[in-house]
């Protein structure tokens, strides 16, 4: 988000963030369909309150993140429409992109399509951060999150097997 928000705009974003927080707390223990309905209802309300294209797009991104988190515990077919929507809207940050990799890994269990898409998301993330100079501890944390995501999606063993088949050592 830009750092030069007007005070009025800043207050609207704060109001919407608080509404999202309250909703997340109220939905603890709710079913995935209930969460989806509630977030879609909140989205409709918030989008009616937006005043600029920037506000609209940013709130769509944030609410799509909420929907991805809510649907990641379910099957891939319930998660994938929100993933496509996030890709169309664009990621709000690299942190968001990393979270989406982890959520996709969780949702991909038992889905070959989900596993392929998760592998592509992880590879894209690695390409984006690969050439950046990062603090060694941050790089280590990113690698650990991505390895857990691979393992959750059933990709860790496949990658090790592929490496061995090509005569490479397995990663340690």
Over range 25-36, report the average pLDDT: 97
Over range 143-172, report the average pLDDT: 65
Alpha-carbon Rg for the chain in angstroms: 18
Of the pLDDT bands very low, low, confident and very high (cuts 50, 70, 90), residue 131 is confident
Q: What percent of the chain has pLDDT over 90?
A: 81
Over range 95-108, report the average pLDDT: 96
Return the residue matching tokens 């609209």.
Answer: 56
Q: Which of 2-16, 58-72, 103-117 shows the lowest per-residue confidence on average (mean pLDDT)?
A: 2-16
Q: Return the ∠ at Cα 65 (arms to 63 and 69), rounded to 5°.
A: 115
> So what's the pLDDT on residue 132?
86
> Does residue 147 have a pLDDT over 80?
yes
CA torsion, points 15, 21, 27, 28, in degrees to nearest 10? Answer: -170
What is the pLDDT of the chain when averaged over all its residues? 89
| Residues 54-85 pLDDT 10s | 999 999 999 999 999 999 999 999 999 999 99
Q: Which residues, at least 6 apart from 128, have a Cβ–Cβ distance to it below 8 Å?
A: 94, 97
Query: What is the DSSP secondary-structure string of 42-79?
Result: HHHHHHHH--SHHHHHHHHHHHHHHHHHHHTTS-HHHH
Q: How many Å apart are CA 30 and CA 68, to the nearest integer?
A: 15
Of the pLDDT bands very low, low, confident and very high (cuts 50, 70, 90), residue 6 is confident
Q: Which residues, at least 6 apart from 45, have a Cβ–Cβ distance to it below 8 Å?
A: 19
Q: How many Å apart are CA 104 and CA 33, to the nearest integer?
A: 18
Q: Which of 32-46, 52-66, 134-148, 155-169 shows the lowest per-residue confidence on average (mean pLDDT)?
A: 155-169
């Amino acid at each position: 988000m830009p750092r030069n928000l007007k005070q009025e705009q800043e207050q609207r974003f704060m109001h919407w963030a608080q509404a999202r927080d309250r909703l997340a707390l109220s939905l603890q223990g709710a079913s995935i369909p209930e969460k989806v309905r509630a977030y879609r209802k909140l989205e409709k309300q918030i989008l009616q309150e937006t005043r600029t294209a920037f506000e609209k797009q940013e709130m769509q991104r944030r609410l799509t993140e909420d929907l991805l988190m809510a649907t990641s515990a379910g099957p891939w077919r319930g998660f994938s429409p929100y993933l496509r929507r996030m890709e169309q809207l664009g990621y709000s940050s690299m942190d968001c992109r990393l979270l989406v990799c982890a959520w996709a890994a969780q949702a991909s269990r038992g889905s070959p399509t989900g596993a392929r898409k998760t592998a592509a998301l992880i590879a894209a993330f690695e390409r984006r951060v690969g050439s950046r100079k990062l603090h060694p501890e941050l790089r280590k944390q990113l690698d650990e999150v991505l390895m857990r995501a691979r393992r959750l999606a059933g990709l860790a063993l496949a990658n090790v097997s592929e490496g061995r088949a090509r005569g490479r050592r397995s990663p340690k």
